[in-house]
Amino acid sequence: MTTLFINIKLLVNVRNDSKLLRGSDLQNLPCIENAFLLIEDHVIADFGFMHQIPPSYLKIPATFEVTGKMILPSWCDSHTHLVFAGSREKEFIDKIKGLTYAEIAAKGGGILNSAKKLNVTSEEDLFIQSYKRLQEVIKLGTGAIEIKSGYGLSVEGELKMLRVIQRLKSTTRIPIKSTFLGAHAIPSEFLENREEYIQLIIEEMLPRIGQEKLADYIDVFCEKGFFSTEDTQKLCKAGEQYGLKPKIHANQLSASGAVQVGVKMNAVSVDHLEVMDEEATKALSNASTIGTLLPTAAFFLRMPYQPARELINSGCAIALASDFNPGSSPSGNMNFVVALSCIQMRMLPEEAINAATINGAFAMEVQNIAGSITKGKLANLILTQEIPSLDYIPYSFGHHLIEKVMLAGDWVN
Binding site: residue ranges? 79, 81, 88, 151, 184, 249, 252, 323, 325, 327-328
Q: Could you tell me whether strands 269-272 and 290-293 are parallel, antiparallel, or unpaired per DSSP bridges?
A: parallel
Distance of closest approach, residue 63 Cβ to ligand NIG, in angstroms: 43
Burial class (CB in 10 A: 0-12, 13-18, 19+), 278: exposed
Alpha helices in 241-391 (DSSP H): 258-264, 278-284, 295-301, 308-313, 334-345, 349-356, 358-362
Binding-residue pattern over the window 238 to 267 for ligand NIG, x denoting contact by CB under 6 A: -----------x--x---------------
Q: Does 111 bind ligand NIG (CB under 6 A)?
A: yes
SS3 for 383? strand
Backbone angles phi, psi at 296, to 5 degrees: -70, -25
Which partner from the list ligand NIG, Fe ion, none does 281 bind, CB cut-off 5 to 8 Å by kind? none
| Contact call for residues 197 and 187 (beta carbons, < 8 A) | yes
Q: Does 182 bind ligand NIG (CB under 6 A)?
A: no
What is the distance of C-alpha 22 from the center of its chain?
A: 18
Q: Does 268 bind ligand NIG (CB under 6 A)?
A: no
What residues form the annotated binding site for Zn(2+)?
A: 79, 81, 249, 323
Based on CB atoms, which residue is closest to ligand NIG, 293 or 297? 297
| Contact call for residues 242 and 229 (beta carbons, < 8 A) | no
Separation CA 397–CA 42 (nearest Å):
31
Nearest to 143 by CA among 72, 64, 249: 72
- Residue nearest to Fe ion according to CB distances in the complex: 323
Binding-residue pattern over the window 307 to 346 for Fe ion, x denoting contact by CB under 5 A: ----------------x-----------------------
- Residue nearest to ligand NIG according to CB distances in the complex: 327
Which amino acid is residue 299, in one-letter code?
Answer: F
Mark the segment that binds ligand NIG (CB under 6 A) among 18-26, 108-116, 336-344, 355-363: 108-116
Mark the segment that binds ligand NIG (CB under 6 A) among 32-40, 323-331, 345-353, 403-411: 323-331
Residues of the shown chain interacting with Fe ion in the complex, contacts defined by CB under 5 A: 323
Residues of the shown chain interacting with ligand NIG in the complex, contacts defined by CB under 6 A: 110-111, 114, 221, 249, 252, 297, 323, 325-328
